[in-house]
Amino acid sequence: MDDAFAVSYDDIVAARGRISGAAHRTPVLTSSTADARAGGTLLFKCENFQRMGAFKFRGAFNALSRFTGEQKAAGVVTFSSGNHAQAVALSAKLLGIRAVVVMPGDAPAAKVAAARGYGAEIRFYDRRTEDREALGAQLAAEQGLTLIPPYDHPDVMAGQGTCAAELIEDAGPLDLLLTPLGGGGLLSGCAVAARALCPDCEIYGVEPEAGDDGRQSFRCGRIITTATPQTIADGAQTTHLGRFTFPVIRGLVKDILTVSDAELAQTMRFFAERMKIVVEPTGCLAAAAVFAGRVDLAGRRAGVVLSGGNVDLEKYADLLR
Ligand SMILES: *Cc1c(COP(=O)(O)O)cnc(C)c1O
């Protein structure tokens, strides 16, 4: 079955080899309070402790590591204002590659500064009049740069899959695996890993309620595009799944669940108060579904990916209140 997909388990094994030494092997944390609240055993894969603060380092580093000498000499371009931009910028710096990041002119100063801090060049665009994907493609064509998109790329997906492979290796077999879902790089990669390592595991993706394009697409069997959702889960404000990620999700995932912003905020608070960890709103998606009782956990072991911890502290404090 895997043969039909853009990513195989072998690709994930190869990605693990490439990222080892560069990426952190993040911890798997447990909490008896969380277990009591959810009614099952929860194994949290803490990508908030990953380099640059999110799992996206895995996919970006894997993709850039595969560049040919010619590609390395020319550089990489990406369009993102979030964690993927930082992941590409840091990976490029570590590998000695020039990076150009296309960001909206109104991107938060902290995000611009973070990408610049890793040595990336920023190319601003106007959200109202310019299309970031077209601009990325144009820069790639003009300057010979290689475009690495945030999720719809086999090397990115394989890199993200290393997260579930490590989780299952460290935590043992799982009955369920839940990950946040934006464009589906994380979910598709993790699904391929989980299917290979514990074939009976039920796999779920979790989206913000306001942006349930993934669930709509999953249910009707084709990629549905929606307007940019208004949600505190800024890492999942994608409008559609990808042409590589969708078939994997459709083929391996049991269901797509949704949670509200209020449920995300409560979950953030739980992690701060009880487990002493900072998890960004998007990073709380899978855990929020578990705490809200969206899946049956009685007597079962669930792997829950906490995908990142990058949140502006002022905003974080507001959300906790
Ligand atoms: C990008 C991102 C996601 C969504 O990942 P996709 O591969 O687009 O589905 C989830 N959480 C965090 C923290 C992210 O940065």
pLDDT digits (tens, 9 = 90+) for 255-306: 999 999 999 999 999 999 999 999 999 999 999 999 999 999 999 999 999 9
Q: Could you tell me if 56 and 86 are in contact, meaning their C-beta atoms sit under 8 angstroms apart?
A: yes
Pairing assessment for the beta strands 28-29 and 41-46 based on DSSP bridges: antiparallel
Q: Which atom of ligand 1 is nearest to the CA of 150?
A: 8
Q: Which of 27, 17, 150, 31 is nearest to 79 (CA)?
A: 150
Which of 80, 81, 188, 217 is labelled catalytic?
81
Does the pLDDT of residue 80 top 90, yes or no?
no
Q: How far apart are CA 195 and CA 92, in angstroms?
A: 31
Kindly state the percentage of the chain with pLDDT values over 90. Answer: 88
Q: How far apart are CA 56 and CA 159, in angstroms?
A: 8
Backbone angles phi, psi at 275, to 5 degrees: -110, 0
Q: Could you tell me if 124 and 27 are in contact, meaning their C-beta atoms sit under 8 angstroms apart?
A: no
Q: Could you tell me if 83 and 235 are in contact, meaning their C-beta atoms sit under 8 angstroms apart?
A: yes
* Mean pLDDT confidence for 145-160: 97
Q: Which range among 20-34, 41-55, 222-236 shows the weakest confidence by mean pLDDT?
A: 222-236
Catalytic residue at 31?
no
How far, in Å, is the centroid of ligand 1 from the Cα of 73? 29
Model confidence pLDDT, tens digit, residues 12-29: 999 999 999 999 999 999
Give pLDDT, residue 57. Answer: 98
Residue with tokens 């960890």: 277
Q: For residue 2, name the pLDDT band (cuts at 50, 70, 90).
A: very low
Give pLDDT, residue 3. Answer: 57
Pocket of ligand 1 (CB under 6 A): 54, 56, 82-83, 150-151, 180-187, 235-236, 238, 280, 282-283, 307-308
Q: How far apart are CA 10 and CA 20, in angstroms?
A: 15
Q: Which sign does the torsion angle of CA 306, 238, 8, 148 carry?
A: negative
Catalytic residue at 299?
no
* Mean pLDDT confidence for 160-187: 98
Give pLDDT, residue 172. Answer: 97
Does the pLDDT of residue 1 top 70, yes or no?
no
Q: Which pTM value belongs to this model? A: 0.96
How far, in Å, is the centroid of ligand 1 from the Cα of 32? 27
